[in-house]
Amino acid sequence: MSRTWTHAVMGALLLAALAPAWASDITIRRMGAADDVSPTLHGPAFYLKGDGPPEVYSFDAFAREIALGEPLDVVVLGASYANYDGECAILEALDSINSCTTVVIRDDQNTNDARVREVLQQAEIIYFRGGDQCNFVHWKYSAVHEEVEELVERGGGTGGGSAGLAIQGSLAVYDGCTGSTSSPSALADPYTASISFTTELFHWPHLDNVIMDSHFVKRDRMGRLMTFLCRQQALGRAEAAWGLGLTDGGVMLVDRDGIGTVWNEPAYVVLADGNHAGCGDERQPLTYQGFKVWRLAPGEQYDFMIRPHKGYYTVDVKGGTLSTDPYQYPPARPADKQTFPHARKASPARSLR
């Protein structure tokens, strides 16, 4: 046996022994100013995005909503992609951002780490990035979970994209812990094993009884969101269950008064407040009459505090089949011109300085 071969084997064994420790470690990397700032906070506010990374113009408006133009510190939380700083690379260049720190927690046991807690306590915005929301729901009741809630209580901002969006729902979180489901699968069997929920994660102001779903139009997720809502009714968790669907590139900014402003791509608010008997049996396709859908164009607003009951169109489901294209508002008649009565046009996006 050669000495070179022996050294190679020993080196491989050493790396294998070290791998678990590395995989469970915590990544903390900061970009921008070294010193923290402490602006007065004017939230809470929520940044909800249909896919993973934030978008500069909408996030700049979000940051300015919270601190009224004063620079603030952002933490991006993830449970995977430890060597990726893409979100902070986007945000650090904004004048509204003092610093951006990426924190990746690859082991649930590290969610109570003192280093992580200190970083979160210095943030004015905490953003959950994409990945697998099953990782995030395992952080419930941890120090990380507690610090995010405390930030919102003191007027800061939170939110996320893709998996980071999914966990913001206050009614329930489709957690993906038993696999991913599609609209055809969910509609065919609302109790398929690939549908599982986590409850009692976050309870954000004005977003009660809401389930979030991402990549909405691109991955045709209206059917599965409707199924999730009917399931919550059948479970007795809500007489009226609400959904918010955001597609790739789409953003909803929700301010302290509950006004949600749509950016870039249409957003969909869905209400299930009818008879839920059609999702009460296992292995039976969904049947439901009268899902109410608000299609909100970029620049329009929706009042989550008042939740208007006008301006919607309806979609029925019979035997797992939708009655119409759920993503397109039916052609308006002359008498229907005043749609979205509580929606207001958003101010133009602020230019980056």
Q: Is the pLDDT of residue 346 over 70?
A: no
Question: Once rounded to an integer, what is the mean pLDDT over residues 53-60?
Answer: 96
pTM (2 d.p.): 0.87
Give the pLDDT confidence score for residue 280 in this predicted structure. 78
CA 95 – CA 73 distance, rounded (Å): 11
How far, CA to CA in Å, does 348 sit from each of 58, 63, 261, 303?
10, 15, 11, 19
With a cut of 80, say whether residue 21 has pLDDT above it.
Answer: no
- Measured between alpha carbons, how far is 28 from 106 in angstroms, rounded to an integer? 12
Q: Retrieve residue 39's tokens.
A: 């602006």
Is residue 285's pLDDT more than 50? yes
pLDDT at 114 over 70: yes
Confidence of residue 340 (pLDDT cuts 50, 70, 90): very low
pLDDT band of 345, cuts 50, 70, 90: very low
Mean pLDDT along residues 46-75: 97
Q: Which of 350, 275, 348, 271 is nearest to 304 (CA)?
A: 271
CB 253 within 8 A of CB 263: yes
Residue 18 has pLDDT above 70, yes or no: no
Taking the CA of residue 230 as centre, how many other CA atoms within 13 Å lie in the half-sphere pointing to its CB? 32
List the one residue out of 55, 57, 110, 52 whose CA is nearest residue 81. 52
Q: 24-162: which CATH architecture?
A: 3-Layer(aba) Sandwich (3.40)
What are the residues whose beta carbons fall under 8 Å from the beta carbon of 45, sequence distance 6 or more? 62, 65, 66, 157, 253, 254, 255, 256
More confident residue, 20 or 259: 259
| pLDDT tens digits for range 115-140 | 999 999 999 999 999 999 999 999 99
Q: Is the pLDDT of residue 19 over 60?
A: no
Burial of 52 (0-12, 13-18, 19+ CB in 10 A): buried
In the chain, what percentage of residues exceed pLDDT 90?
Answer: 80
Confidence at 303, pLDDT banded by 50, 70, 90 = very high
Mean pLDDT (whole number) for 164-187: 96
Question: Between the CA of residue 234 and those of 46, 105, 209, what are the distances in Å?
Answer: 29, 35, 14
- Cα–Cα distance measured from residue 164 to residue 264, given in angstroms and rounded to the nearest whole number: 19
Cα gap 259→65, rounded to integer Å: 12
In the chain, where are the structural domains located? Answer: 24-162, 169-346
| Mean pLDDT of the region 103-115 | 93
DSSP 3-state of 72: strand
- At 22, the pLDDT band (50, 70, 90 cuts) reads very low
Confidence category of residue 81, pLDDT binned at 50, 70, 90: confident
Q: Give pLDDT, residue 84.
A: 80
Distances (CA, A) of 229 to 88, 171, 208, 257: 34, 9, 13, 25
Report the mean per-residue pLDDT for the chain.
87
- Give me the mean pLDDT over the 258-279 stretch: 96
**Stretch 74-87: mean pLDDT, rounded?**
88
pLDDT band at 315 (very low <50, low <70, confident <90, very high): very high
Q: Which of 304, 286, 300 is nearest to 181 (CA)?
A: 286
Tens digit of each residue's pLDDT (9 = 90 or more) over 207-250: 999 999 999 999 999 999 999 999 999 999 999 999 999 999 99
For residue 319, the 8-state DSSP code is T
